[in-house]
């Protein structure tokens, strides 16, 4: 390739050096500059390619106004006509990862332009887009930027040169769940027997068909006398007091909140949902449809349960990483256990 190939770069408001959460609502903008990781990426391309510009969009804006944001971003990409688009790396930032994955997928499918990203394996964007987008495997934080960018740059060079990528463990991208035909010097039966012998001898071996690993949680013991039990609500349905005082994110949640139920018979119109990704009309009309305080208060009065715990806990589930979900569960669970709560009603959307 005699001329340098053109790379267009996408980042969020933080890596675009606009600001933090206070700027997460910013609309997409194009800068005819190499900003944030785009500058480092440009250096890694050396004399083969160059970053021609940077698109910046707020994480909240993209996830809450996806149709409009995507339309604007696709127009920006079309006007610059790059050879490839790079989004991220997003590391373990859920909203950023979902934006990078969605943008890369749409560019590939609608503009027929190659696009890649980079994420930590637990980023929700991985499961959503790894089948459509090449996603470089990164660490969970920006501390891994120096390793992430070179890996992404090498992948970009191969894609632009129309070279076939090697296996994920060689090239450094997350497996896409695709099975490819390869040639081996040994037939399958021989390889299988060798793996079996290695396993029986407690020797290392590598399976040719790795199976998914599912988290298994042992159920707690049953409540012995529910008429004396304290029952709490935990929801991933995003029900919060009007105004969302703790600024819980509508998608890819980074936090949870808790709100007092003392003296409250039903949630009513003082509460609403900030959860993205589903029609909130019925939840906002009656938040008790998601967190049924009204029914549990009735059970409390009838003596069916002992009492309703005085606090309920809330976050949003859509796009929230497995890592954050586990963290939230441990933190909330520790509080409930310390308070002597006997059971939890966990609701979603």
CATH level 2 (architecture), domain 5-171: 3-Layer(aba) Sandwich (3.40)
Q: Residue 304 in 3-state DSSP? A: coil
Query: pLDDT per residue over 315-338, tens digit each?
Result: 998 878 787 888 999 999 999 999
Instruction: Tell me which residue has tokens 């790379």.
Output: 7
User: How would you class 140 by CB atoms within 10 Å of its CB: exposed for 0-12, middle for 13-18, buried for 19 or more?
Assistant: middle
Query: pLDDT per residue over 47-60, tens digit each?
Result: 899 999 999 999 98
Domain boundaries, the chain: 5-171, 226-347
**Per-residue pLDDT averaged across 249-267, rounded?**
92
Which pLDDT score is estimated for 320? 82
Residue 62 has pLDDT above 50, yes or no: yes
Answer yes or no: are the C-beta atoms of 84 and 160 closer than 8 Å.
yes
Strand stretches in 58-151, DSSP E: 84-91, 115-119, 134-137
Residue 1 has pLDDT above 50, yes or no: no
Which pLDDT score is estimated for 276? 80
Q: Residue 263 in 3-state DSSP? A: coil
What pTM was computed for the model? Answer: 0.70
Query: pLDDT per residue over 97-128, tens digit each?
Result: 999 999 999 999 999 999 999 999 989 899 88
Looking at the chain, the whole-number percentage of residues with pLDDT higher than 90 is: 76
Answer yes or no: are the C-beta atoms of 229 and 223 closer than 8 Å.
yes
Per the DSSP assignment, residues forming a β-bridge with 129 are none
Residue 201 has pLDDT above 70, yes or no: yes
- DSSP 8-state assignment for residue 287: G
Which pLDDT score is estimated for 277? 73
Answer yes or no: are the C-beta atoms of 236 and 319 closer than 8 Å.
no
**Per-residue pLDDT averaged across 205-227, rounded?**
85
Mention every residue, 6+ apart, whose C-beta is less than 8 A from residue 91. Answer: 97, 118, 119, 120, 123, 138, 139, 140, 141, 142, 144, 148
Q: State the pLDDT confidence band at 2, using cuts at 50, 70 and 90.
A: low
Least trusted range by pLDDT, from 64-68, 81-85, 196-200 = 64-68
Q: Measure the CA–CA gap between 14 and 8, rounded to whole angstroms.
A: 18
- Which two structure tokens, joined as six digits, stand for 295? 């029914």
Please provide the average confidence, as pLDDT, over all residues in the chain: 92
């Amino acid at each position: 390739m005699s001329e340098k190939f053109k790379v267009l770069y996408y980042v969020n408001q933080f890596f675009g050096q606009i600001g933090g959460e206070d700027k997460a609502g910013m609309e997409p903008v194009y800068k005819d500059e190499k900003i944030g990781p785009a500058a480092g990426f440009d250096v890694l391309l050396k004399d083969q390619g160059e970053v021609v510009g940077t698109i910046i969009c707020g994480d909240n804006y993209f996830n809450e106004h996806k149709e409009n944001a995507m339309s604007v971003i696709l127009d920006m990409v079309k006007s610059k006509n790059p050879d490839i688009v790079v989004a991220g790396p997003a590391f373990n930032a859920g909203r950023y990862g979902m934006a990078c994955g969605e943008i890369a997928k749409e560019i590939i499918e609608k503009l027929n332009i190659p696009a890649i990203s980079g994420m930590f394996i637990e980023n929700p964007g991985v499961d959503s887009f790894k089948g459509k987008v090449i996603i470089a495997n990164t660490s969970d934080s920006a501390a891994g930027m120096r390793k992430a960018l070179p890996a992404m740059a090498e992948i970009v060079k191969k894609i632009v040169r129309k070279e076939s990528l090697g296996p994920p463990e060689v090239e450094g991208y997350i497996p896409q769940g695709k099975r490819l035909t390869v040639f081996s010097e040994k037939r399958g039966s021989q390889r299988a027997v060798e793996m079996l012998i290695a396993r029986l001898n407690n020797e290392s071996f590598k399976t040719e068909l790795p199976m998914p690993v599912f988290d298994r949680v042992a159920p707690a013991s049953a409540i012995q006398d529910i008429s004396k039990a304290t029952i709490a609500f935990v929801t991933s349905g995003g029900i919060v007091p009007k105004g969302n005082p703790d600024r819980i994110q509508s998608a890819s949640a980074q936090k949870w909140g808790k709100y007092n139920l003392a003296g409250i018979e039903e949630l009513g119109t003082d509460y609403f949902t900030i959860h993205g990704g589903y029609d909130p009309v019925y939840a906002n009309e009656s938040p008790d449809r998601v967190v049924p305080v009204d029914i549990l208060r009735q059970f409390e009065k009838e003596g069916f349960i002992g009492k309703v715990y005085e606090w309920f806990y809330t976050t949003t589930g859509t796009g929230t990483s497995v890592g954050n979900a586990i963290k939230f569960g441990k933190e909330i669970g520790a509080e409930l256990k310390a308070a002597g709560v006997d059971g939890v009603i966990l609701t979603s959307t």
